[in-house]
A and B are shown apart, each in its own frame.
Chain A
Amino acid sequence: MRTAFVQALTDLASRDRRITLITGDLGFGVLEGFGRAYPHQFFNIGVAEQNMTSVAAGMALTGRIVFTYSIGNFPTLRCLEQIRNDVCYHEADVKVVTIGGGFAYGALGMSHHATEDLAIMRALPNMVVVAPGDPLETAAAVRAVAERSGPCYLRLGRAGEHTVHGDGMRFELGRAITLRDGGDVTLISTGAMLERALRVAERLDAEGVHARVVSMHTLKPLDTDAVADAARQTGAIVTLEEHSAIGGLGSAVAEALLDGPVCPVRLRRVALPSMFAPTVGGQDYLRDALGLSESAVAEAVRSLLAARAREMSGWNGASGS
């Protein structure tokens, strides 16, 4: 995703002098080409995220479109108030980009795990929150957020995520993408869990469970129509995110369901417990250890469908007595 981001931004910068990239001294080996090609559009601010964010806001208020870049929680939590006051309140054209959403920097430790960022960014007024599911979504998201004036949080994976979309992908901010249709359950995924969602759907197919897979690349504004369709048409939703169960995709979907028209639907949220990772681990290890394994997702689907089946037989029994 990182490569897709840099390529897409480089392409934009070549055509639009307003596009500016500011890094908090991270991106070694990745951003140098951009800096050489566009020296008036690239600034390494140093290890100073508060300054980075306010500088970005100040530049944006003069007409630039500014991307701030760092990893993990550094461009978000370290400078949260600068994002809230200087970027969001001023509706400044600043796009906060993090590399390493979730456990992408797994073994580097707690400091590098971005596992509450979606909840926190989602709570900020005027903030658009985007977590693309693969490199193609990433490139499309970069173009889309650059075009849309105003604050945005772009949560990316790191490197090595596989492309899961085909050529015909249509990306629009706030419009979920259905990658696979199915009538028994909908798996709604955000960010880099998309590939895992697709694999789980394939596994369930063999069991006779046909899962729809939806990429909810934009968490805010949420595509509530896609959520409502999933509820009405499949009756069961499992959300999947590399993020705390508090305040992320699962919460957003639950809120949409409660706020929307009443429809019979069961929901399971596959997300991280609200805790710090207890042992050392790489991304895959930590995902699996903290409840995001393919088996865990598949089991969430099975238990959800079993609960629904019991419920329905209960209703049938009640109506028959």
Chain B
Amino acid sequence: MSAPVHAPAPGRDARALAELARTIRIRTLQMTHRAKSSHIGTCFSMADLLAVLYGRVLQVDPARPDLPGRDRFVLSKGHGCAALYAVLAERGFFPTPWLDRFYQDGSTLWGHATHHGVPGVEVSTGSLGHGLSLACGMALAAKHDGHSWRVFALLSDGECDEGSTWEGALFAPHHGLDNLVVIVDYNKIQSFGTVKQVLDLEPFADKWRAFGWAVREIDGHAIETVVEVCERLPFERGRPSCLIAHTVKGKGVSFMEGDLLWHYRAPDADELRRALQELGAAQ
């Protein structure tokens, strides 16, 4: 058995988790503004999920990011890395000033999730449809090696277009990987339009169920609900868990919510000011 993790995630209450999510959004705004980078909308749709995971659920130790017994978190939607970097910095995996170097020449914080030189990033992603299978491999090894740690993979809805995602979806239940949790950030907007317009995933939950997953659907911004459902993992013994989190792209800033534009656009100075104002950030 692997060594127990001695520094459990801080048991933050819903208010503290909401505050963490707000901080993720603020930092992400500042990072994407400075970097003139894309993907703020996808960072915002998963900000509350990340806050719950890193503020409450994941057994990880910022002082020892390579601890063998840690829970593994795979950000399969690697384009949302700004939010991941932000929460890792907030948890103390690396100094917050590093975030100022996001996208900058000579820095380690690339525009898609990268593990080299970034403590706490488990795997590098960026091409969609890789994360679930990577997570399956970790979970399979953990099962057969008798480890109790768990694997969480956060997927985008768009990457459920990838055939490889469904190869992993077929694989995990067959091997009874109840130490594996997939969370889909179902914000309903992908690169070219809405999921419904581009390649409809519905009936989405039924597809996962049909593949053999134990599925729950929740509001991915209702922090207390997310906490509650994560405390019931695995949803069923012997099956991998799938949490479909209904979210809103750009959630948290009124003029970004549900707007495809913010898959691409970086906030300019005025938009940054207005967005920070809405988030109640000191400027």
Contact = CB atoms under 8 A, between A and B. Distances in A.
B123 A55 contact: no
B141 interface: yes
A291 B252 CA distance: 66
A54 B137 contact: yes
A268 interface: no
**A interface secondary structure, majority:** helix
Contacts of A134: none
Given A54-B130, A81-B127, A59 B168 contact: no
Nearest to A58: B137
Interface string B118-140: 00001111110110111111111
B137 A59 contact: yes
Interface residues of A, number: 25
Contacts of B145: 40, 62-63
A43 B123 CA distance: 23
Contacts of A89: 124
Interface in B53-100: none
A54 B136 contact: yes
Given A62-B141, A62-B145, A90-B115, A54 B170 contact: no
Interface in B169-185: 170-171, 174-175
Q: Determine the interface band of chain B, counting residues with CB < 8 A from chain A.
A: 20 to 34
A55 B180 CA distance: 13
Contacts of A40: 144-145
B275 interface: no
B141 A64 contact: yes
A55 B129 CA distance: 12
B167 A90 contact: no
A82 B124 CA distance: 11
A207 B167 CA distance: 58
B171 A48 contact: yes
Contact of B171 (A45, A53, A82): A45
Nearest to B126: A85
A241 interface: no
A56 interface: yes
Interface of A: 40, 43, 45-46, 48, 50-51, 53-64, 81-82, 85-86, 89-90
Shortest beta-carbon contacts, A-B, top 9: A58-B137, A54-B133, A51-B167, A55-B137, A48-B167, A50-B164, A62-B141, A58-B134, A59-B141
